[in-house]
A and B are shown apart, each in its own frame.
Chain A
Amino acid sequence: MANVLHIVVCAGIVPDPLQTLEPITGPNGPGLKNEMVLPAVLDPWAASALYEAANLAAKNPGSKLWLVSLGPKAKLQQVMMTVAQKAGFELVPVDGPIGGFPDAHSTAAVLAEAIEAIPGLDRAKLLLFGGWESATRGAGVTLQLVGERLGITDQFQGVDQIDLRDDGSFEVLERVEGGKHQASVCAGTPAVLGWATGNLAEPRNNPQIGMANMRTIMPALAKAKAAKLEANGLHYVSVSLPKQQRTTRVVKDLTPDEIASELVEWIGAK
């Protein structure tokens, strides 16, 4: 028997990983040089959460999927042109700053408020999804804070798998130390799941899904509320690129035997 789920995925937008990042300090604190013109993508681990959520919703008819995202409207629109072709969802955009330096507690407060205001969301059926860490701040705390604000005390982080059972309970595999998973069984919704990679490949772009999504995404972006993020007493003393530059020895003229001998000595060296 299928379970009706209300899945909310929290996902930010981040600079494309191949971009060169240069930190700068402005009047509002640290940021990235040319941040607004850097090509952006959906946060990778949050994207895994979105694909897993779409898969779960598809397997459970009657389920609903929302994507809650905080970022500058223009950047959100740009990223959604691609993301909207991957899975069917309803976008809940919040117009706010981009980047990793704003305080996670403020971000969580804004996201929780946006989720509480979603019309028709049944919090008893809620699965709150997101990435277990972002590719910007990478703190791995925002989703937990949103969960606490929503009163959800069954939380899982580093999730790679969820298996929903007929009775509404589900088994979760979370990453723990030593390359292992911790398996847990939760009695049912509501719960928070911070996703790692999951098991699904990135869906191919489907223009039909994209067109259906964009009918609701564009009006939602137009109506997106602006959010200001509080600093909460957070000060940045310094923000810099790592200075470490190594003097690399490029070895081109050794045979495999000679290289192997050198490597074995290196491996065994104290």
Chain B
Amino acid sequence: METILVLTHADETGSTLTRASLEAVTAGLELAARLSASLTIGIVAADATGSAGTLASTGVRLLAVSGEAFAQARYASDAAAAEALCRASQATIVIAPGSSRFTRIAAGVAHRLGGFIDTHITALGGTDAVEATRWFYRQRVEAVLSRDARPWFLLLDAGTHAAFAGAPATAQVENVAVQLPEMRTTVSGLRSPSQGAQTIRPDAKLLLVAGAGWTKKQPDGQVHASEAGELILGFLQATGASLGSSKSLVDQGGEGEPVLPFLTHMNQIGQTGATPRHAKGLSTCCHGEEPHVVGWRFISDRRAISLDPNCGWSRGKADVVYIADAFQVMAKVNSLLDAKKA
């Protein structure tokens, strides 16, 4: 019989579980129910009390590693914490959110326990055995896999499960002691690489993708990069959308060509960037070759504005393609959004 551990961690407040952690809790509860397996939830937080209260209604065993050393994400301390929780639970299957914090350490912890790991899991299925679905070749090939070896670590992609939402209550938590190694790394804090506005919003319902066309010569023979920047930022401000970009547009900064100053490689989506999950996506000035399409794999409702009627988007990848000048359309869209707001 399997023993399942769900690893969770707090956000920057130090006491509230991240949304991705709560999604992992849902996945763990579902899998435990299906396999009739025992379930334990492990918490890594500066203060685990608040986090544990959120999980009280699960009715499962709660383990916690807490203290100031675990307030911030760092390999040496987080790996020691996760290792201690895994050993205390004696889990055969470990489910964890694919957050930056746990992605950094989970493979190392699996190795310390003589286990194995698979990441970017988008679904857990199977009848008798556990089967995990994930993508290969940057979201271009989908596979279902299973493993005989245990412990088996499974890191879930964010947005693949509903976040657990139970009534907060007082919870019984078993504190697990951790022998910390020498700390050679000090976390200084978080920094935003964007100049000015924060343009990456993972929780936004809408993703706007800007392609290289925004900084190409327009019908008047001139480049209108600053106007493009104003249109894009105006749209983001009015809609709360997140901004993605093609690699070619981001790379222009390093090649001395006109740039949108608020774009960084962090905005990049596609073959060499992120594959974000948003309910809707609007592509502008971006052609539809496969490396870009990869970035749209998990966007449910897709529209595009393109001057090219033969754009790749016309071949079954977008729901609607508008053959038009994005400068003109987006200016009108922003006007309408402003009017609506007023």
Contacts and interface: CB of A to CB of B under 8 A. Distances in A.
A234 interface: yes
Contacts of A247: 316, 319
Contact of A235 (B111, B146, B267): B146
B76 A153 contact: yes
A176 B111 contact: no
B104 A188 contact: no
Interface stretch (A53-61, A118-126, A154-162): A154-162
> Which among B120, B144, B322, B331 has the greatest number of chain A C-beta atoms within 10 A?
B322
Given A181-B191, A232-B116, A251 B111 contact: no
A260 B329 contact: yes
A148 B313 CA distance: 44
Interface of A: 15, 17-18, 20-21, 23, 30, 32, 44-45, 100-101, 103-105, 135-142, 144-145, 147-149, 153-158, 160, 171, 173-188, 196-198, 200-201, 232-242, 245-252, 254, 256-257, 259-261, 263-264, 266-268
A49 B111 CA distance: 24
Contact of A175 (B266, B272, B337): B266
DSSP majority for the A interface? mixed
A180 B107 CA distance: 23
Given A155-B104, A235-B148, A240-B141, A250 B332 contact: no
B309 A250 contact: yes
B145 A183 contact: no
> Which among B268, B303, B314, B325 has the greatest number of chain A C-beta atoms within 10 A?
B303
Contact of B100 (A142, A145, A182): A182
B116 A233 contact: yes
9 contacts: A142-B107, A145-B111, A148-B107, A148-B112, A153-B184, A175-B266, A201-B254, A242-B140, A256-B324
B145 A260 contact: no
Given A17-B290, A44-B272, A263-B329, A248 B142 contact: no
Given A182-B189, A260-B335, 15 more contacts: A142-B107, A156-B75, A156-B104, A174-B100, A182-B73, A183-B189, A184-B187, A185-B188, A186-B184, A187-B185, A188-B184, A239-B144, A242-B297, A249-B319, A264-B337
B104 to A, nearest CB: 5
Contact of B190 (A136, A154, A155, A176): A176
Interface string B287-327: 00111000001000111010001000111111111111100
Contacts of A160: 193, 265-266
DSSP majority for the B interface? mixed
A252 B308 CA distance: 10
Interface stretch (B38-46, B165-173, B197-205): B197-205
Given A196-B265, A201-B255, A242-B297, A176 B309 contact: no
A239 B193 contact: no
Nearest to A181: B191
Given A141-B119, A178-B200, A246-B316, A241 B104 contact: no
Contacts of A135: 137-138, 271-272
B337 A21 contact: no
Interface string B188-216: 11111110001111100010000000000
Nearest to A235: B146
A260 B339 CA distance: 13
A236 B143 contact: yes
A138 B142 contact: no
B239 interface: yes
Contacts of A140: 103, 107, 119-120
B328 interface: yes
Contacts of A268: 340
A148 B251 contact: no
A127 B266 CA distance: 24
B319 A248 contact: yes
B138 A138 contact: yes
Contacts of B34: none
B155 to A, nearest CB: 9
B118 A144 contact: no
Contacts of A251: 320-323
A178 B142 CA distance: 26
A181 B147 contact: no
A238 B123 CA distance: 14
> Which are the 4 A-B pairs with shortest beta-carbon distances?
A179-B200, A260-B332, A141-B107, A233-B149
B177 interface: no
> Which among B106, B266, B330 has the greatest number of chain A C-beta atoms within 10 A?
B266
B190 A250 contact: no
A177 B141 contact: no
Contact of A241 (B73, B142, B265, B268): B142
A138 B137 contact: yes
Given A239-B143, A250-B323, A179 B199 contact: yes
Nearest to B194: A179
B186 A259 contact: no
Nearest to B321: A250
Contact of A238 (B74, B144, B289): B144
B141 A241 contact: yes
Nearest to B99: A177
Contacts of B106: 141, 144
> Which among A100, A174, A263 has the greatest number of chain B C-beta atoms within 10 A?
A263
Contact of A197 (B181, B189, B272, B319): B272
Given A141-B106, A260-B329, A154 B138 contact: no
A18 B100 contact: no
A137 B329 contact: no
